Structure 1
Amino acid sequence: MLLSLLLAGAAITANAQSEQYESAMKQQIGLLDSSSTYSEAGMQQLANTFERIAEAEKTQWLPYYYAAYCRVNEAYMAKHKDKVDGVADKALLSIEKAQALKGKDSEISCILSMIATSRISVDPMTRGMKYGPESGAHLEEAKKLNPENPRVYMLEGQSLLYTPEAFGGSKTKAKETFEVALKKFAAFKPESPIAPSWGEHYTKMLIAGIK
Structure 2
Amino acid sequence: MQITVKASRRTEQGSRASRRLRRAGRVPGIVYGGDKAPQPITLDHNELYHQLNNEAFHASILTLEIDGERESVLLRDTQWHAYKPLVLHVDFQRVSADEKIHLNVPLHFIGGENSPAVKLGGCIISHVLTEIEVRCLPKDLPEYITVDLSNMQPEQSLHLSQLELPPGVEAVHHGEGDPVVATALKVRGESGPEGGETTES
Q: TM-score, normalised by structure 2?
A: 0.26
The structure with the largest alpha-carbon Rg is 2
If each structure's helix is expressed as a fraction of its own residues, which one has the higher value? Answer: 1
Q: TM-score, normalised by structure 1?
A: 0.25
Q: Which has the higher contact order (CA 8 A, sep 6+)?
A: 2
